[in-house]
Amino acid sequence: MNISFAGRIALVTGAGKGIGRCIALKLSKLGAKVYAISRTEADLDSLKEEDSSIETRCLDIAYWDNTRKVIGDIGQVDLLVNNAGINKKKTVLEATEEFIDEHFDVNFKAALNISQIVAKGIISRKGSGAIVNISSITSTLAFPGVPIYCTTKAAMDMLTKSMALEFGPFKIRVNSCSPGAVLTAMNKKIFSSQELKDSVTGRIPMGRFIEQDEVANTVAFLLSDYASMINGALVPVDGGNMIHISPNPIQKLK
């Protein structure tokens, strides 16, 4: 399988660090012209140093109107990866309206906003395209302490299905990629102790955390023509975490 995005224009949000950065670099390596979005200028500068062909835009996608202007000014986009997200800790009993809005503004509303702009552009020029939303297995499996984050990802999955249904007739495919436990900088704060790390990897039949490149490879496949009839799918990249209810399958098999 030889994936090539030559002649295609890709937009990746949350591309300054972590999974988004890995995806942006992967798509660029496969020939796409990549526009990387982040709200942190230093992260974008670092990305540009790593791959000078990537175009960067410093943008806080939580702001609806300004996002529409910046994304609209980019022009043609064929491939979109809605990766940007925040994950802060508050229980259901602790969550405030401001906290809830902050998560939905970034994790859900921004993805809808940007997808709308990109899809309208593809439709207007009678082209074709693909969108991948970066969800999480926590859209299905509740994780303690982050109920609002989990809920935004569940909303993202239904948005994926709804967009796939609506955009399919216009030759735009939409899928979700749902990573399990990836040790990004954000997740390292959550999995702060070795005991917690072991408890997480113990639930994964493959027995380890997911690598960022493994997520990026899945995204590249879903965006490519090799996935030409995959539409509205929620694709887990979790080493089998979601398939069982055993508390520690690794320990039991040893």
Active site residue ranges = 149, 153
Contacts of 107 (CB under 8 A, 6+ apart): 84, 85, 86, 149, 152, 153, 155, 156
Where would I find the H helices in 125-176? Answer: 147-167
Please report where in the chains the tokens 């994936």 appear, as a residue.
Answer: 3
**Amino acid of residue 82:** N
Given a contact cutoff of 8 angstroms between Cβ atoms, the answer to whether 84 and 222 are in contact is no
3-state class (DSSP) for residue 31 = coil
Q: Give CA–CA dist 12/183, Å, rounded.
A: 20
Given a contact cutoff of 8 angstroms between Cβ atoms, the answer to whether 172 and 128 are in contact is yes
3-state class (DSSP) for residue 127 = coil
Q: What is the CA 196 to chain-centroid distance, rounded?
A: 24
Residue 240 bridge partners (DSSP): none
| DSSP state for residue 210 in the 8-state scheme | B
